[in-house]
Amino acid sequence: MTAELLTSDQLLAGFSESDPTSFVRTWDFQRFQCFVAAGGASPTTLEDARDQAQWDAEISFSLKQYITSTSPKVVGIMGGHGISRSEAAYTVIAKLSRQLTQAGYFIVTGGGPGAMEAGHLGATFANSSDGAFNQALQELAASGGSVPSGSMVDPKTGQILPGQDAQIAAAHAWLLGAVRTKALLDGEMGKSLAIPTWLYGQEPTTPLASSYAKYYQNSIREETLIANGRVGILYAKGGGGTLREIFQDVEINYYVQKHENFIPMLFVDPLGFWQTEAKYDAQGQTTTPGIKVDEVLKEAFRYALGAQLFSQCEYKLRFTTDFEEIRAVLDVHAPVAADAMRLMTTGAASVLMRLRRR
């Protein structure tokens, strides 16, 4: 298979709805096993390193062609893979994603479970009725299954470790719930893009996106996720990976010299996870979850940009679940993002970088 944008059918080739062991026979999982056997993110041979680099380069080029041909108003969605399908955070992201897709925006996520899947669910049902969408939410919440909690393969050989039957069956059940959800569509499937990585290949990739750019190297994938979130990025609650993505976005915004170039950062968890200081009991166990970043981000940008410029940019740093408020911010930035996208896809940006290195 050449490195072109993929479909869920290609990734899930070998999956059987009736066979709970079939998850590990999919093309996607077997590619993950080969990745692990070759040394993972640090390939053990030059040949494997070249093969991975070629695949990632070709995927990046295919992605550029896709973006150039469709010129979407890209909105990235970041958030934890541990958000369950029954949580309010999942529902909020799905609803916002659906509304944004209906308003002409194009959803891009990391393609995994949790907040990422919720983003694709909303986009998928953008052209279907409210009834079909609500039924999909309800059936997914009750579907059962789970993503693997640890590695299922030997880190040296890529072979499945003994005693993984329960995790394999649970992953199959989780995938099956999403696969069957597509049958509820009563309109054309909405488009969205997933950018996953085989670094986390033990996790099933959600089958609810319309296109996939899957990478070997997570570092390239992370940069691509941020780069393609040109109109803005929505952050659900999350952990270490989401924090990294937040501060990658901070790095980009830290150096803006004009307020219009500040890319919107929109924190959308209904329980205010990113505005809450965690609380703990006497045993040190978390009683109130949260990682309070709101004031840290404001202080970082105030320091970097200066008080006057930050005051012009601050409206693009929001903590809200209100769709109209979110859309208003994105609508303001969309024309600026379109200009940046044209620069990125015409090749002018790479020419400028080459000139700067001389």
Q: How far apart are CA 30 and CA 159, in angstroms?
A: 10
Share above pLDDT 90 across residues of the chain, in percent, rounded to a whole number: 80
Is residue 352 pLDDT above 60, yes or no? no
265-267, strands of its sheet edge to edge:
211-212, 192-194, 105-109, 73-78, 232-235, 265-267, 317-319
Tokens 């308003």 belong to residue: 103
In the chain, the number of structural domains is: 1
Q: Which residue range forms the structural domain that includes residue 181?
A: 8-239+265-272
In this structure, is residue 310 part of a structural domain? Answer: no
Q: Is residue 277 classed exposed, middle or buried when 0-12, 13-18 and 19+ CB atoms within 10 A define those classes?
A: exposed
pLDDT of 358 over the 60 cut: no
In sequence order, what are the residues at sequence separation of 6 or more whose Cβ sits closer than 8 angstroms to the Cβ of residue 81?
112, 113, 114, 115, 116, 147, 203, 241
Separation of alpha carbons 37 and 47, rounded Å:
13
Q: Is residue 346 part of a domain?
A: no
Establish if 70 belongs to a structural domain. yes
pLDDT higher for 9 or 67?
9
Tokens 């640890």 identify what position? 150
Position 15 in a domain: yes
Q: Kindly report the CATH number assigned to the domain that includes residue 33.
A: 3.40.50
> In a 3-state reduction of DSSP, which class is residue 187?
coil
Average pLDDT over residues 231-258: 94
pLDDT band at 341 (very low <50, low <70, confident <90, very high): confident
Residue 17 in domain: yes
Query: Does any domain span residue 14?
Result: yes
pLDDT of 3: 65
